[in-house]
Structure 1
Amino acid sequence: MKRVQIDRRQLGKGLAAAMALPLAGGLGSLSARAQRYGGTWSSLAGLSEEAQRLGLSVPRMGLAPSSSSEDFTEIQPAIVDFMDSVSASAPDARGVTSADVDSLLDRASELLRTARNAERMPRDIPEGPQAQAITAPAFDSIAEDYRRLFATCEIRSEKRSEVMWYVSKITDPTRRKAYDQVFEETCVPWYFVAIIHGMECGFDMQSHLHNGDSLKKKTVQVPKGRPAQWLPPSDWVSSAVDALRYDKLDEKPDWTLAHMLYRWEAYNGWRSRLLYKINTPYLWSFSNHYTKGKFVADNVWDSNAVSKQCGAAVMLRGLVEAGHVAAPA
């Protein structure tokens, strides 16, 4: 079979299923190339080789990453597409045990979690020497600002393919089924849940919606010790329900555009807006409304750091433009 060379960013098209072809050979070259870069790429190459030996399908990744850096914009799609392909092909793979599949997914999830935790914008933690007490702005005082920003939001042209990858994961049938189950329990719109899942977990179904911690045990980051009761490690839905109830989102009756943007920003925190006077990357990264500035650790602000994670409002913009949801009022 002729090897087709593709840019790794093409993995961000949301076409994992179409690309999930068994690699008859040649993952050796992936391993050799990835070894040059080490770290996450090398680990992912090892998982891909193992999946192939088990007869599972993996995305065609037989090339080195586009740079020697472990760029989150490349790492996240590669790992998530790998996990999706393994999960999708497992039922048809002969001689593969559930333990084999779980092991691959668990290790891929840890790779993703490590990369995501290094990039993800921490939720507000009002503790420590650099912390300042923050009072959330009144909804009415910023609702019109949200409506204006969304109406004028444009996805940056160089980020459009990445945004469409996020959209493809939000609308993936397996995830959509889980999001709908959460909606049935909480009445929180399915796509609001999906976007939090993208922000906090990188769409990993092995992670708590609260903060991306492993679903194998209760959360260890803020909020810690959640859920109080659930069935680890497979009960993603009840954990997600607990996350929404913890923030009392299940009690909210109004899900207009401005309310959703307000709640997403509140979910992560107000410091970007109130202390540093910028449109928070948690909402607007990958759009014309955000350039730079982000928290790089709890209460640690870097005015030159640029978020490599698509913002929640920009995911919603992508969903609307692709016709998956109507523009919220």
Structure 2
Amino acid sequence: MTEATDRSEPPSRAPPSLLDKADKIAKIFATAAIPIILGVGGWIIQTTIEHDKQESARIQQDQQRAVDKDKISLEYVKIAKDILTSTEKDLPKELTTWSWRLIDGVSPIKFAKEDLDRLIDRKERIPTPSTVSSFQSLADEYNRMFKELILAVENQKVDGIVDKVIANKVRYSEIESRTGVPWFFVGVVHYLENGLDFQKYLSNNDPLTAVTVHVPKGRGPFATWEDGASDALRISGLIGATDWSIARILFRLEAWNGFGYRRRQVNSPFLWNCASYYTTGYFVSDGAFDPAAIPERCGGAVLLKRLMDRQLIANQ
């Protein structure tokens, strides 16, 4: 008897479906597309990098052009300033006209039109400050400059500051009753030193709640602004002073800030900023002078001029 064997046929297979075909095609395409995708992706990345490099280079070029433009502007300002501070008597009017118009054009603080016209018509110059620092030597200079002062800004700008000083008159008058220093002098110094902030020491913008770290160092802390202000006036030697003429006021204001500007042949912005006597040059910190810098705040002489013009204080 022969042994039986399994002769059954293998099960039949279904024809490939559309889904199977699509899957195969997708795999083939994916395999073939990898180098294409890598190539395209690499091109996109490279293009992005090149674009970023170009954009960075463009920004750097723009920044450099801006720096170069500022340098050129500063050089022109120096030329204009040299012309207007020249002691030569017969300078052509064309030179002084060009100088005033250039300074007005590049300055962030503009002259009122009528004031600029007057400076040009009269061939006005910028007086060069004396390098001495005694009141007797400077009194005539202060009186003359104050009398001939021309604002480099609209009256409204200075009046806005003056109005804020007047609003604090009661507190400044309290200092006057303690020290004898006129309230308006206190108010002007308060604006010049710390922008009318009653949380700061009068002389150096340090907080009242801690010992001062800027000149004058080691003062305080103080319980009130009035206590700190009285201390600042005392160590400045102003308590008991009697002469409060305009020349003496301007001398005391300049002495308060220091005579370092005179050694650099610059009219102190602490007095003359926002007036035709001042262009550029500023101590941005103790001992650090920047010839191109300009302070934000108008000078004390400018505020005093508006206080007098508006008859808020008597002519000193």
Smaller-chain TM-score bracket: 0.5 to 0.7
- Whether 1:199 aligns to 2:199 is no
- Which of 290, 297, 303 does residue 278 from structure 2 map onto? 290
Aligned to 1:129: none
Please tell me whether the aligned partners of residues 294 and 303 of structure 1 are also in contact (alpha carbons under 8 angstroms). yes
Q: How does 1:1-329 map to 2 (within 5 A)?
A: 137-156=133-152, 158-172=153-167, 175-227=168-220, 230-231=222-223, 235-273=224-262, 275-328=263-316
Q: Find the aligned partners of 2:304 and 2:232 in 1 and give their Cα distance.
A: 20
Aligned to 2:43: none
Query: What's the TM-score, normalizing by structure 2?
Result: 0.57
Deviation (angstroms), 1:160:
2.7
Please tell me whether the aligned partners of residues 132 and 138 of structure 2 are also in contact (alpha carbons under 8 angstroms). no
Deviation (angstroms), 1:159:
4.2
Q: Find the aligned partners of 1:285 and 1:159 in 2 and give their Cα distance.
A: 13
**CA deviation vs aligned residue, 1:140-167 (integer Å, no higher than 9, x gap):** 10100000000011222x3432211110
Q: Find the aligned partners of 1:267 and 1:226 in 2 and give their Cα distance.
A: 16
Deviation (angstroms), 1:189:
0.6
Aligned to 1:39: none
Distance 1:218 1:159, change over 3 A: farther
Greater relative contact order (Cα < 8 A, sep 6+)? 1
What letter is aligned with 2:246?
L
What letter is aligned with 1:272?
Y
Q: Find the aligned partners of 1:247 and 1:258 in 2 and give their Cα distance.
A: 18
Q: Name the % identity.
A: 37
Q: Which has the larger radius of gyration?
A: 2
What letter is aligned with 2:301?
A
**CA deviation vs aligned residue, 1:242-268 (integer Å, no higher than 9, x gap):** 110011111322111111100000000
Deviation (angstroms), 1:227:
3.2
Deviation (angstroms), 1:299:
1.9
Please tell me whether the aligned partners of residues 267 and 278 of structure 2 are also in contact (alpha carbons under 8 angstroms). yes
What letter is aligned with 2:297?
Q
Deviation (angstroms), 1:294:
1.4
RMSD over aligned CA atoms reads 1.9
Secondary structure of the corresponding residue to residue 284 of structure 2: strand
Q: Find the aligned partners of 1:209 and 1:184 in 2 and give their Cα distance.
A: 17
Deviation (angstroms), 1:193:
0.4
Moved over 4 A (4+): none
Which stretch shifts more, 194-203 or 249-258? Answer: 249-258
What letter is aligned with 2:170?
K
Where does structure 1 lack aligned partners over 5 or more consecutive residues?
Answer: 1-71, 74-134
Q: Find the aligned partners of 1:187 and 1:220 in 2 and give their Cα distance.
A: 27
What letter is aligned with 1:280?
S
Aligned to 1:98: none
Secondary structure of the corresponding residue to residue 296 of structure 1: strand
Secondary structure of the corresponding residue to residue 250 of structure 1: coil
What letter is aligned with 1:197?
H
Deviation (angstroms), 1:307:
2.3
Please tell me whether the aligned partners of residues 154 and 287 of structure 1 are also in contact (alpha carbons under 8 angstroms). yes
Query: What's the TM-score, normalizing by structure 1?
Result: 0.54
Please tell me whether the aligned partners of residues 210 and 220 of structure 2 are also in contact (alpha carbons under 8 angstroms). no
Where does structure 2 lack aligned partners over 5 or more consecutive residues?
Answer: 1-107, 110-130
What letter is aligned with 2:266?
I
Q: Find the aligned partners of 2:303 and 2:220 in 1 and give their Cα distance.
A: 27
Q: Find the aligned partners of 1:310 and 1:263 in 2 and give their Cα distance.
A: 17
Q: Find the aligned partners of 2:308 and 2:243 in 1 and give their Cα distance.
A: 19
Secondary structure of the corresponding residue to residue 239 of structure 2: helix
Secondary structure of the corresponding residue to residue 174 of structure 2: helix
What letter is aligned with 1:216?
T
Which stretch shifts more, 245-254 or 144-153? Answer: 245-254
Deviation (angstroms), 1:214:
1.2
Q: Find the aligned partners of 1:243 and 1:291 in 2 and give their Cα distance.
A: 30
